[in-house]
Amino acid sequence: MAKANVLYPGQTIGILGESNSTPILLMTAKKMGFNIGMYSSNEDSKAVQLADYKYIGPIDDKQTLKMFAERCDVVVYDNDLIDSEVVRYISQFTAVPQKDGLLDIVQDRLIERSFFETLNINMVPYSTIVTLEDIYQAINSIGYPAILKPIQRGLLDGKELLIKNQADIVLASGFLDAGTYILESYVEHDIDYSVIVTRAADGSHQMFPVVEVIYHDNQLMTAFTPAKLDPSVAKEMERITNEITTNLDYVGTFEVNLFLAKSGSIYVSRVAPLLSPAGFVFDYATNVTEFEQHLRAIAGLPISKVFQGISTVYQTIRQKDYQRVKTQWLIKENWHFTIYGNQPADDGKPVGNVLIPTESLSYTLMQLEATGIWADIDYKAKYQQNDHEEHGH
């Protein structure tokens, strides 16, 4: 008997907007037997070429959006910068299980912070900034160093300003013309984490193992699991993630970013409704991928219980790394490559990634360092810490 709100093979999932994970999402959905419609403003994208049918138009083109939505049994978005207004609009014509609430929260840093505050979740001290004078006043309580971030996440391409001393405050004047900002304390920390969760329509959820991540220039570069966690830290991260998950009206996979301060406190930095590159590790590290789990939730299927598989490292390949990575292509038998087929103008942007299932995280991180390709990433602290654990010292 066919159940309402359940998608079966042969039905159509529409994907709105895109990121580097979209082609994988699309291929996973096709493998599960779904037809795929794509709505994008870029007709040359890889994902658009793979779709069963495509609608090309600006993201706010209501007429085309309506045609697209009416042709789909359900629509998912794969980008946390999609305007929540667009999601509300297409929800009139088809089901959007992810809904718009989480987008509203993540796109406005003030709403996001009040969401965390109501849940009593630890975040860094911050102040709302409209004028230069506000910064001089706020810095008294926040202290140096501090980071100035736009309230609207997509503003000025997400540019942020690190204020290390009084002389830096003057640099902020150019930023403030663009809108309201928040100034937050920069908390010294060595370790960032990503917790990926899938939430079903009935509120039940499954958490993937915690992933330790390394950023460079605000971009995720390296990720690995299992993360070495003190049991009390692991417990607190689980509590925070459960609290967030319970209070969201969202169906599908999403990511919670946290970091561990030198003081030992755990802070949440953001929640994002997307299939994170950090979660690519689960292709090997667990029995179900973040993509399949996302689609199971969206399609109204029971979500899988997650079991830990093999230790896995993820490494971003940027445009500037690509030529040198080709040598590794020939010599590394355990490196699994995904190439996105995009041509970013900025050579710091990702064009692919490598997944490395491994018996030893520390050995694999050393291997990455030894290639010399990613000289701007500090692997040493990570493999020393892991080596220490792996050999039980």
Per-residue pLDDT tens digits for 138-188: 998 899 999 999 888 777 667 788 999 888 888 888 778 778 899 999 988
Burial of 89 (0-12, 13-18, 19+ CB in 10 A): middle
- Other CB atoms within a 10 A radius of the CB of residue 192 amount to 18
**C-alpha pair distances (Å), 82 with each of 51, 274, 278:** 20, 11, 20
Contact (CB, 8 A) for 180 and 130: yes
pTM: 0.92
Contact (CB, 8 A) for 281 and 314: yes
Contact (CB, 8 A) for 73 and 15: no
Mean pLDDT by 10 residues, the chain (393 residues): 77 93 95 97 88 94 96 94 94 97 92 93 90 88 90 76 88 80 89 97 96 92 95 94 96 96 91 95 98 98 97 97 94 95 89 97 96 94 74 56
User: What is the model's pLDDT at position 1?
Assistant: 39
User: What is the model's pLDDT at position 388?
Assistant: 65
Give alpha helix (H) positions in the chain: 22-31, 46-50, 62-70, 84-90, 101-107, 109-118, 132-142, 166-169, 173-176, 231-246, 282-285, 290-298, 322-331, 361-370, 380-390
**C-alpha pair distances (Å), 165 with each of 124, 143, 162, 172, 173:** 19, 9, 9, 12, 15
Cα 297 off chain centre by: 18
Contact (CB, 8 A) for 274 and 217: no
Radius of gyration of the chain (CA): 21
User: What is the model's pLDDT at position 3?
Assistant: 57
Helix, strand or coil, per DSSP, at residue 212:
strand
User: Domains plus CATH for the chain?
Assistant: 12-96 (3.40.50.20), 125-185 (3.30.1490.20), 188-309 (3.30.470.20), 311-393 (3.30.470.20)
User: What is the model's pLDDT at position 4?
Assistant: 63
Output the furthest CA–CA distance in the chain (Å, rounded): 69
